[in-house]
Structure 1
């Protein structure tokens, strides 16, 4: 199932993240893609807030992985630097863990991921607007059914 949204402000991104957070479950995997500055980390910050994370979330670009405690553990990964490098980083414990794995630039490690994940593709429109394509099947369809067209 595929849904498309226009996020007209950060408030819209916050509300969308709140909808996702109310549907989180252990082992959830969210793959994020989009150009630099398209909203991947901003979405993750709002998701973390709605998951009860109290720490300040920032991009794990240079550390690859940051973990946060909330209602469920949040494993925030930025795998941009892994393109064509190989899979020597042992991320399986986090991807297949009992928390929520949010993976920026997920296509770079697509072969490590299960077939069924929730994917969010952000497209930069202007300084505040973003288009968003949400895809998921199986256990993720419930989330997509709650999204208004």
Structure 2
């Protein structure tokens, strides 16, 4: 697993990184997002959605756990925050191996259910609008995606 770091100086840059990444993703790809409250996970996710051609407004699915959107590929936005300490299998695996792209905020709360092959992103707050994104690949596929993103 290789780690790569990207700095985003503005909210717009965080969104643009998500949009650029989305254009490199394919059906069945899973992206996890970690970071403190307000770090920019949902901002990044909005960029992913835009890059996938989603036209609906994207918001955090805090109370519904999963929101589904249509774009170039189906886009599944999961917020696992409320699943902390949950022992229950709520069938998320069907999203991970489906025909769309899945992004999971607060993925650490469902670690045991996550597929091994995924792109892990940690967003760190470093200033009012500045963020550092730490991307960790778990496979050759995601290593190629990250290299393309950085080029």
- Asked whether the two chains share a fold, i.e. TM above 0.5, the reply is yes
User: What is the SS of the residue equivalent to 2:59?
Assistant: coil
Q: CA deviation at 1:23?
A: 0.6
Tell me, in whole angstroms, the C-alpha distance in 1 between the residues paired with 2:140 and 2:111: 18
CA distance in 1, matches of 2:25, 2:136: 15
Q: Deviations over 1:46-100 (max 9, x none)?
A: 1101111010000001110000000000000000111111133211211221100
What does residue 113 of structure 1 align with? 114
Task: Tell whether the 8 Å contact from 1:68 to 1:74 is kept in structure 2 after alignment.
Answer: yes
Is residue 21–residue 149 contact of structure 2 (8 Å, CA) maintained in 1?
no
Structure 1 window deviating more from structure 2 (78-87 vs 35-44): it is 78-87
| Stretch moving more, 87-96 or 58-67 | 87-96
Q: Secondary structure at the match of 1:146?
A: helix
Match status 1:132 vs 2:133: yes
**Cross-structure match for 1:44:** 45
- How far the C-alpha of 1:147 sits from its partner, in A, is 3.8
Gaps in structure 2 of 5+ consecutive residues: none
Cα RMSD over matched residues? 1.3
Worse overlay, 15-24 or 57-66: 15-24
Quick check: 2:62–2:81 contact (8 Å CA) kept in 1?
Answer: yes
TM-score, normalised with respect to structure 2: 0.93
Distance 2:49 2:55 in 1: 8
Q: Which portions of structure 1, spanning 4 or more consecutive aligned residues, are displaced by more than 4 angstroms?
A: none
Asked if residue 14 in structure 1 is aligned to residue 12 in structure 2, the reply is no
